[in-house]
Structure 1
Amino acid sequence: MTKNTKRIWLFLMLTFLLMYVSHGIIAYLLETTSIEWDDFPFNALGIIGGGAPAFAAIFMVHKMYTEKEKKDYWESVYRHKVNWIWWPISLLSPLLIGFVANIIHHGGWWNPEIEIGQLIAFPLAFGVMIFAGGMEELGWRGILQDNMSKKFSLPTIGVVIGLLWGVWHGPLFLIDVFAHYHYDFSTYLLTTIVYSLILTLIVHKTKSVLLAILLHAGINAFGNLGFGIPMEVNAGIIIYLIVLIFVMTFVLYLFEKKKCR
C-alpha cells in the first residue's frame, strides 16, 4: 500500500469513526436519558462529529507529514493570492446555484422574505459558518483530494468525495433533532456531488484550500438566508442537479485532458 493510499484510508477511517460514534452516542442519550438537547454533552459530541474531517486532518498533518509537507499543507490552507476570477466563483456559486434551484422549486420567481436584520447579520453568520462547516475542507480537500490527485482523475475525485461527504452526514438523517432528519437524502447526495465537483475544480486550479473553506461556508450561510437547495423530492430539482453534475464532470474532464498534455 502506497503512502498516499494509507493516508486516504486513515483519513476516512478517522473521519467516519468520529462522526458515527459521536452521533451514535447522541442518539443513545436522547433515547435513554432526560438530558436536554442544549446541554453540554450534546454540544461537545456535535463538535467532535461535525469537526471530524478537520480534526482528522490536523492530527494526520501533525503526526505523519514531513516538515516540508506540513509547510506545503498550511500554505495551501492560507493561500489567497490566486487569479481574481476564482474569488467570485468561490463566494457566489452557492448563491447562484441555490437561487436557480428555488426558482425551479417555486415554478418561477419567489420571495425569499429576507429581513433587514438577516442581511446586516450575514457577514457574522458567514464567519460562523467558516468554523461550522467550512473547516471540514481541511480534510476533504487538504488531505483527501490532495492524496487522491496522485492516483485518480479529477472527475473521479469530485464524484467520490461528493458521495463520501454526503454519506458521512448519514447520522444527521437518523436523529430527529437535526434539520437533516426532514431532508430527502437522494437530493442531498446529488447536492454534495455538485458542490464537490466545483470544489475539486477550484482547489485543482488555485491550490487554495482557503477558497474551498469559504465556498463551503457560503453553502451554509446562503442556505440559512433562504437560498439553499430545497431538500425535497422534486423532479425539477433532481434534473437540475443531475445536469449540473454532468456539466461539471465534463468541465473537469477537459481540465484533466489539459493537465495530461
Structure 2
Amino acid sequence: MTFFTLTLVLSWTIWTPGALGLVDFGSLTLLVVVVGGFGPLVAAALVTWLVGGSLRAWVGQVLRWRVRPRWYLAALGIPLVAYAATSIVYLALGNAIEPSDILQQVSVYALPLIFVLNMVFVFLLGGGQEELGWRGFALPRLLERFNAVTASLVIGVVWAVWHLPLFMMEGTSQYGGPFVPYATTVLALSILFTWLYRGTGHSILVAMILHASYNSATVLIPFQPVQTGVVDWLLAAVVWVLALGLVAVYGRDLRSGHSEDRETVDGRVPPTT
C-alpha cells in the first residue's frame, strides 16, 4: 500500500497541474510525461530502502537476461500479434481504414527502424522503467499472499488508474481517449506480464522489452482505423482472449512445470498458489 500510494503521489503531483488545466506545458508535455513516469521506479526504490531491503537485488532483476529465447520472442511478438489480430477483426467487420500518420510522412520501409528507435525510447524512458515498480517490487510481494491472477488484477487496477491524468492532459498520446476500454486492456495486460515474469524467473529485462514492444507495435501497422473507439474495445477483447488462454493453460498461478520461476526478489521460495 505504501508503494502504490507513493507511486500515485509522485506521478500525479507532476501530471495533475496539466490535467486540470492549471499549467499549459506546451512543448514540454513529453518531458513532463516522462518525468512523471518514473513514479513507480522511485517509489519502489524508496520503499525498498525504507524497509531495509536490498536495492542491489531489486535492480539486479534487470540483469536477468539468461532466459530461453522463446521468452524474448514472446515479449516482442505478443504485442504484434495482438495489434495485428485487432486490425484483422476490425477490417472483417467492414470498418474503414486510412494510412497511418507515420506512413503519410515516411516510406513503409522506414517503419521497422522507427519501431526499433521507439522501442529503445520506451524501454529506457517511456514505460519500460515502470517495470521495476509494478513487476519488480509489487508483484513478488503480492504473490506471497495471492495467486498470480489476483495479484495481476490488483496491479492492473492501480496501473490503469495511475495513467488517468494523462487522459486529461493535452498533448499526451492518451488525451481525449476512452479510459474504460484502456483500463480493461491494462487488466488483461497485467496477466500477460505476470506470466512472462514468472516464466523467466523474474526477469524484469524481458518485462521491459514486452512493455516497449507493446507501446511501439502500432508503428508497424501502416493503417489506422476511422472509428478509434471500436478498435479500443476490440483490442481489449483480443488481449483478454490471450490472457484467459494463458490462465486456461497454466492455471491461476500462471506457472508450468517448465517455468524458470524459482525464488522471489528477496531470495525466498514463493509459496504454492
Amino acid corresponding to residue 27 of structure 2 in structure 1? D
Match of 1:51 in 2: 38
Q: For the structure 1 residues 55 and 252, does the alpha-carbon distance in structure 2 shift closer, same or farther, using more than 3 Å as the test?
A: farther
1:2-151 mapped onto 2 (5 Å cutoff)? 9-28=1-20, 31-32=21-22, 37-39=26-28, 42=29, 45-66=32-53, 69-107=54-92, 113=103, 115-131=108-124, 132-151=126-145
Match of 1:253 in 2: 252
TM-score calculated relative to the size of structure 2:
0.78
Q: Distance in 2 between matches of 1:43 and 1:85?
A: 34
Question: Whose helix proportion is higher, 1 or 2?
Answer: 1
Amino acid corresponding to residue 249 of structure 1 in structure 2? V
Which among 213, 216, 219 is matched to residue 214 of structure 2? 219
Q: Distance in 1 between matches of 2:162 and 2:119?
A: 23
- Could you tell me whether the CA contact under 8 Å between 1:201 and 1:252 is conserved in 2? no
Amino acid corresponding to residue 16 of structure 1 in structure 2? L
DSSP 3-state at the match of 1:161? helix
Amino acid corresponding to residue 174 of structure 1 in structure 2? M
Percent of paired sites with the same residue: 24
Q: Distance in 1 between matches of 2:19 and 2:183?
A: 22
Q: Distance in 2 between matches of 1:60 and 1:100?
A: 40
Amino acid corresponding to residue 26 of structure 2 in structure 1? W
- Could you tell me whether the CA contact under 8 Å between 1:53 and 1:138 is conserved in 2? yes
Q: For the structure 1 residues 56 and 243, does the alpha-carbon distance in structure 2 shift closer, same or farther, using more than 3 Å as the test?
A: same
Structure 2 alignment gaps of length 5 or more: 258-270
Q: Distance in 1 between matches of 2:224 and 2:141?
A: 30
DSSP 3-state at the match of 1:177? coil
> Which deviates further from its counterpart, 165-174 or 48-57?
48-57
Deviation at 1:252, TM superposition (A): 4.1
Match of 2:261 in 1: none
Match of 1:5 in 2: none
Q: Distance in 2 between matches of 1:168 and 1:185?
A: 12
Which among 225, 237, 240 is matched to residue 238 of structure 2? 240
Asked if 1:184 corresponds to 2:178, the answer is: yes
Q: Deviations over 1:67-104 (max 9, x none)?
A: xx333322222100112221111121111111101111
- Could you tell me whether the CA contact under 8 Å between 2:3 and 2:44 is conserved in 1? yes
Q: For the structure 1 residues 188 and 154, does the alpha-carbon distance in structure 2 shift closer, same or farther, using more than 3 Å as the test?
A: same
Q: For the structure 1 residues 121 and 49, does the alpha-carbon distance in structure 2 shift closer, same or farther, using more than 3 Å as the test?
A: same
Amino acid corresponding to residue 220 of structure 1 in structure 2? N
Deviation at 1:214, TM superposition (A): 0.8
DSSP 3-state at the match of 2:79? helix
> Which deviates further from its counterpart, 70-79 or 112-121?
112-121
Deviation at 1:24, TM superposition (A): 1.3
Q: For the structure 1 residues 71 and 55, does the alpha-carbon distance in structure 2 shift closer, same or farther, using more than 3 Å as the test?
A: closer
Q: For the structure 1 residues 27 and 182, does the alpha-carbon distance in structure 2 shift closer, same or farther, using more than 3 Å as the test?
A: closer
Alignment RMSD: 3.0
- Could you tell me whether the CA contact under 8 Å between 2:41 and 2:130 is conserved in 1? yes
Which among 155, 160, 164 is matched to residue 149 of structure 2? 155
Structure 1 alignment gaps of length 5 or more: 1-8
Q: Distance in 1 between matches of 2:147 and 2:224?
A: 28
Asked if 1:195 corresponds to 2:189, the answer is: yes
> Which deviates further from its counterpart, 140-149 or 236-245?
236-245
Match of 2:204 in 1: 209
- Could you tell me whether the CA contact under 8 Å between 2:8 and 2:162 is conserved in 1? yes
